[in-house]
Chain A
Amino acid sequence: MGSRISAKRLTKELTELKTNGPPTGCTLIQADDLECWVVSLQVLGESVYEGEEFALRFKFSSSYPIDSPEVTFVNCPERGWKAPVHPHIYTNGHICASVLGSGWSPVLNVASLLLTFQSMLASCKKKELPPDNDRYVRTAPSNPKQTRFVYHDDDV
């Protein structure tokens, strides 16, 4: 049943994003299929990331929305995309956020995730890498969902 539900729901979400548009500051870059979408993201208003553009890649498994999507920041020098320097974002694009792990629930969707990450960046006061960035990037699996993150902050 998983893939059918997933396809139905993703189709709906995509239609919604296309008709009503993604949250302000976000642009749907690529959504050719129901497996991998790329959305560009800018932080609105005053923030340490003012003027920068990032891109998020969403990968959906067949058990979406029961299972959370795999969301990473894109490192793509050609398009000028780079993972933001943020205490919860590793340089390989992996994001340490509970909404992508234990905090996920099917009430969330792509649009709400975009809003979440926008506000996560907007609330950042100081550009800092995660303390264990080097070690994590060296050993990280390609899929961040295989990482067991320990969520320190509640206010991200």
Chain B
Amino acid sequence: MSHATASTPQYARAAASTSTSSSPYPQTVEEDDELPALLDAEESPTRAVSPPPYSSTASPRPLAPSPSTSELPAQQATRSRPRSPPQRTVSTLKDKSCWICMGTELEDEPGSEKKWVHACSCTLVAHEECLLAWYLTSSTTQPTPSCPVCATPYTITQSTSPLLTFYKRSVRRWDKAATVIAIGGVLGGGWLVASAYGAYAVRAWAGEEVARVLLWGAQGDGGKRWKYWLNLPLIPLTLLLSRTPLIDSLLPFLPLTLVLSLSPPHPLHSSPLILPPLTSPTDSLSSLSFTFPPSPTLTLCLLPWARHAYLRARRAIFRKVLGQGSGGEGWRGVLQGLQGVDELADEAQGEGGMQAGVGAGQLELGVELELEEEEAGEGAAPNAAADQQQQQQQAHQPAANPRPAMPPAQRLRLGLSRLTSLIVGALLYPTLCSLSGSALLWLASRGGARPSSGAIRALRKVLGVSALLAAPTAAAAPSTAMSWLRLVTSTPLRLGGTGGGSEPIDPVWLRTSLGGAILLLMRDGLELGAGVLEMRRRKSRRVVGRELGDLQWEEGREEEPRVEGAEGDEWSGGRDETGREARVNVGAF
């Protein structure tokens, strides 16, 4: 047990009554007390601790000492330094009065002899208990608690326990580490979920067999598949981002990482336990040569280009059918998609009286994009102002004006449910593709081993399943909705490689991709159809005229404001008595 000298604030505890006779000079000793946090910073238990780094506000000087401290004997005041002879200690003083509680020695209960201390250079003496309490309190406001009269810094000693120091330091380090661990856990959890989803998406797209090889290696030994596991979490992200133009330029190159990670594994390391030692089937899987059916890797590499080409074609068709600005591309397309809710709401109101109402409960976001600059922020403007704005737009940039396909919603209302459906749709897409692919397979499998119909034969060719379906085991080989169960339970996994020659791999990825393409075509076909109908609805809009009744015009001329509203979204709505032009903004409906 060693004692460290510390001028640091200490934990105030009612000092255990210690004998006053043994100490020649007042010394505050705290036996085995808890170490406050400040003191824990000390490295060695015997090292003196420097004052804690408080912000250096100058400690205010107290006022003059209270008159109550002047009762001390004069001899006490002459004492200068602690190193005085032992007989001149605070315990020999008569008529002591604590400068803190103002209690005198006589008032102390005889049983509990309180220890007195003189801890500074002036005449102040105090109960050790009182001084420790004051020391702690003042240490929260002053860097070095000192006597309020003579400004002598107090010196406090306390016993330190290396064990306790170590314990407290460990606790603090653990607290810090726990935060890091928690964050890491959350991130790791997200990574795991994303990986699991990625693995699921791979299986949905490429089929059970290929997925196994890709994820666990041909020999089931993991091989170099860790690179592939790094790719897995990116799959959901990629799927989500592919709905936006964010990674348009990046997308065609993403599959390359897969190709790189699929560098052929060591063929010699094949484990006879899992698979018969064939030449690695991944060779055929990752082949980039143009055979038919194409390898999964090649298909994957081609998909982004196909997407790109398709989007271009789609935009061209939409523009041709629906006019400029439709078939949105880039962010506008995404936002248009998000605005779909509004259009649906319009439809609900469409047949009855049209009202320019803003659907309640919709998240309204002012999205400022380059394209949207003019429109965004106009949201709250009254119709007339919006109207004017629109006119300017039409005048200035007729080509970029995207009006006809969508209502000129001046604010971008992002339906929250619409956003959710976008995300869910992106994540469900592999499943839907898989289902669609299965449907294709089901179509192709009709007609037995040798179908008579030429269409089915062609379909089998396209899907690359002619050999599979014609083979004797054809009935069981292609994966259907239930096939994964069979694949899990059946061992060994039969993977037809080029060397084995037993069975070709069921090219699930091919029909999945084709199925997905068909889904996309169907969706866009629906969208196009809806767009056409919407355009017709717009063109059919008429303002209902009312009976004139008793209204009188000066000229006596009667007007029936029937207006064609095909081109723009607003038109002149006739003139009222005052000659002001009334405009009706149809687009806001």
Please list the residues of chain A having a beta carbon within 8 angstroms of any beta carbon in chain B: 1-2, 5, 8-9, 12-13, 16, 63, 65-67, 98-99, 102-109, 111-112, 115-116, 151, 154
Indicate if B141 sits at the interface (CB-CB under 8 A).
Answer: yes
> Is B102 in contact with A12, judged by CB distance below 8 angstroms?
yes
Taking CB as reference atom, which chain A residue is nearest B146? Answer: A105
> Is A105 in contact with B138, judged by CB distance below 8 angstroms?
yes
User: Can you list 21 A-B contacts (CB < 8 A)?
Assistant: A1-B133, A5-B103, A8-B101, A12-B102, A12-B103, A66-B100, A66-B137, A98-B60, A102-B57, A102-B59, A103-B63, A104-B62, A106-B100, A106-B130, A106-B134, A106-B148, A107-B66, A107-B148, A108-B62, A108-B148, A112-B63
- In angstroms, Cα B141 to Cα A75, docked, is 31
Interface string of B67-95 (1 = CB under 8 A from A): 11100000000000000000000000000
- In angstroms, Cα B137 to Cα A102, docked, is 10
> Is B101 in contact with A9, judged by CB distance below 8 angstroms?
yes
- In angstroms, Cα B141 to Cα A65, docked, is 16
Indicate if B65 sits at the interface (CB-CB under 8 A).
Answer: yes
Given A1-B14, A103-B60, residue A109 in contact with residue B66 (CB < 8 A): yes
Told that A66-B100, A98-B60, A105-B138 touch, could you supply 18 new A-B pairs with CB distance under 8 A? A5-B103, A8-B103, A9-B101, A12-B102, A13-B102, A67-B137, A102-B59, A105-B134, A107-B69, A107-B148, A107-B149, A108-B62, A108-B66, A109-B66, A111-B67, A112-B64, A112-B66, A154-B60
Indicate if B129 sits at the interface (CB-CB under 8 A).
Answer: yes
Given A8-B107, A12-B102, A107-B69, residue A102 in contact with residue B60 (CB < 8 A): yes
Given A9-B101, A107-B148, A111-B66, residue A66 in contact with residue B134 (CB < 8 A): yes
> Is B62 in contact with A5, judged by CB distance below 8 angstroms?
no
- In angstroms, Cα B508 to Cα A50, docked, is 101
Interface string of B519-552 (1 = CB under 8 A from A): 0000000000000000000000000000000000
Closest approach, in angstroms, between the C-beta of A43 and any C-beta of chain B?
18
Interface string of B119-134 (1 = CB under 8 A from A): 0000010000110011
B59 contacts across to A, CB distance below 8 A: 102
> Is B103 in contact with A105, judged by CB distance below 8 angstroms?
no
> Is B68 in contact with A16, judged by CB distance below 8 angstroms?
yes
Given A1-B14, A1-B133, residue A65 in contact with residue B62 (CB < 8 A): no
Taking CB as reference atom, which chain A residue is nearest B133? Answer: A66
> Is B100 in contact with A65, judged by CB distance below 8 angstroms?
yes
- In angstroms, Cα B61 to Cα A9, docked, is 23
Indicate if B99 sits at the interface (CB-CB under 8 A).
Answer: yes
- In angstroms, Cα B137 to Cα A109, docked, is 17
Taking CB as reference atom, which chain A residue is nearest B138? Answer: A105
- In angstroms, Cα B138 to Cα A67, docked, is 9
Given A107-B69, A107-B148, A108-B66, residue A102 in contact with residue B101 (CB < 8 A): no
A154 contacts across to B, CB distance below 8 A: 60
A12 contacts across to B, CB distance below 8 A: 68, 102-103
Taking CB as reference atom, which chain A residue is nearest B59? Answer: A102
A151 contacts across to B, CB distance below 8 A: 60
A102 contacts across to B, CB distance below 8 A: 57, 59-60, 141-142
- In angstroms, Cα B244 to Cα A92, docked, is 61
A5 contacts across to B, CB distance below 8 A: 100-101, 103, 130
Most-contacted residue by chain B among A13, A99, A107, A108 (CB, 10 A): A107
B149 contacts across to A, CB distance below 8 A: 107
B124 contacts across to A, CB distance below 8 A: 107
Most-contacted residue by chain B among A67, A102, A106, A111 (CB, 10 A): A106
Interface residues on B, range: 20 to 34
B57 contacts across to A, CB distance below 8 A: 102
> Is B63 in contact with A65, judged by CB distance below 8 angstroms?
no
B148 contacts across to A, CB distance below 8 A: 105-108
**The one of B62, B100, B101, B134 that contacts A99, using a Cβ cutoff of 8 Å:** B62
| Count of inter-chain pairs, beta carbons less than 8 A | 77
> Is A8 in contact with B60, judged by CB distance below 8 angstroms?
no
Closest approach, in angstroms, between the C-beta of B486 and any C-beta of chain A?
74
A2 contacts across to B, CB distance below 8 A: 133
Taking CB as reference atom, which chain B residue is nearest A102? Answer: B141
- In angstroms, Cα B138 to Cα A102, docked, is 8
Given A1-B14, A8-B107, A16-B68, residue A106 in contact with residue B60 (CB < 8 A): no
- In angstroms, Cα B61 to Cα A151, docked, is 12
Interface string of B94-125 (1 = CB under 8 A from A): 00000111110001000000000000000010
- In angstroms, Cα B148 to Cα A74, docked, is 29
- In angstroms, Cα B62 to Cα A65, docked, is 14
Interface string of B264-307 (1 = CB under 8 A from A): 00000000000000000000000000000000000000000000
> Is A103 in contact with B101, judged by CB distance below 8 angstroms?
no
Most-contacted residue by chain A among B61, B66, B69, B133 (CB, 10 A): B66
Closest approach, in angstroms, between the C-beta of B53 and any C-beta of chain A?
17
Most-contacted residue by chain A among B62, B69, B134 (CB, 10 A): B62
A9 contacts across to B, CB distance below 8 A: 100-103
B62 contacts across to A, CB distance below 8 A: 99, 103-105, 107-108
- In angstroms, Cα B64 to Cα A66, docked, is 17
Closest approach, in angstroms, between the C-beta of A102 and any C-beta of chain B?
4
B68 contacts across to A, CB distance below 8 A: 12, 16, 109
> Is B63 in contact with A1, judged by CB distance below 8 angstroms?
no
- In angstroms, Cα B61 to Cα A103, docked, is 6
Taking CB as reference atom, which chain B residue is nearest A113? Answer: B63
Taking CB as reference atom, which chain A residue is nearest B60? Answer: A103
B69 contacts across to A, CB distance below 8 A: 107
A103 contacts across to B, CB distance below 8 A: 60-63
- In angstroms, Cα B102 to Cα A23, docked, is 19
Given A1-B129, A67-B137, residue A107 in contact with residue B99 (CB < 8 A): yes
**The one of A16, A63, A67, A99 that contacts B63, using a Cβ cutoff of 8 Å:** A99
- In angstroms, Cα B496 to Cα A103, docked, is 88
B103 contacts across to A, CB distance below 8 A: 5, 8-9, 12
B142 contacts across to A, CB distance below 8 A: 102
- In angstroms, Cα B57 to Cα A98, docked, is 12
